[in-house]
């Protein structure tokens, strides 16, 4: 085991892996769909836009990275790989929001990131 994410677990992913049959996919809905919709609406749709209207790009992105670290502290505090990945993801999502002007690109990016984590996590276990 690589131990890069030692101590990081997610109830939805654990439940997905341990539940037999098709009902196991019910555990993925909050993780894959609802979290990106909720988080991106708040993080990029409201907070980033509010800071961006008042502050330069770098400062706005830095505040959103700090907010992401605060709300995902369990991942940030236990794994430098997760902290790096989430920080890079945040920068990419802010870039998408900046260039497109819409929050949908960030939502799709977040969805793809979450789904890719499921596959990568399954490969390394």
pTM of the model: 0.76
22 burial (CB, 10 Å; 0-12 / 13-18 / 19+) is exposed
∠ CA 99-69-58, nearest 5°, is: 40
% of the chain surpassing 70 pLDDT: 73
Q: Highest mean pLDDT: which of 29-43, 74-88, 108-122?
A: 74-88
pLDDT (tens digit per residue) in 29-45: 677 788 899 999 999 99
CA 15/CA 18 separation, integer angstroms:
5
Residue 107 clears pLDDT 60, i.e. is over it: yes
**Confidence tier at 60 by pLDDT (50, 70, 90):** very high
The end-to-end CA distance of the chain, in Å, is: 7
For the chain, give every domain's residue range. 32-124
| Degrees, nearest 5: CA angle 19-22-107 | 90
Tell me, rounded to whole angstroms, the distance of Cα 28 from its chain centroid: 14
Which token pair is 22?
A: 């098709």
């Amino acid at each position: 085991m690589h131990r890069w994410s030692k101590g990081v677990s997610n109830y939805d992913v654990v439940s997905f892996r341990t539940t037999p049959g098709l009902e196991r996919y019910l555990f993925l809905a909050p993780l894959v769909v609802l979290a990106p919709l909720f988080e991106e609406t708040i993080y990029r749709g409201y907070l980033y836009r509010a800071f961006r209207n008042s502050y330069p790009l770098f400062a706005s992105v830095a505040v959103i990275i700090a907010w992401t670290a605060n709300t995902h502290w369990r991942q940030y505090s236990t794994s430098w790989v997760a902290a790096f990945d989430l920080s890079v993801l945040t920068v990419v999502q802010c870039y998408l929001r900046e260039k497109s002007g819409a929050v949908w690109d960030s939502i799709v990016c977040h969805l793809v990131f979450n789904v890719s984590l499921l596959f990568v996590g399954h490969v390394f276990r």
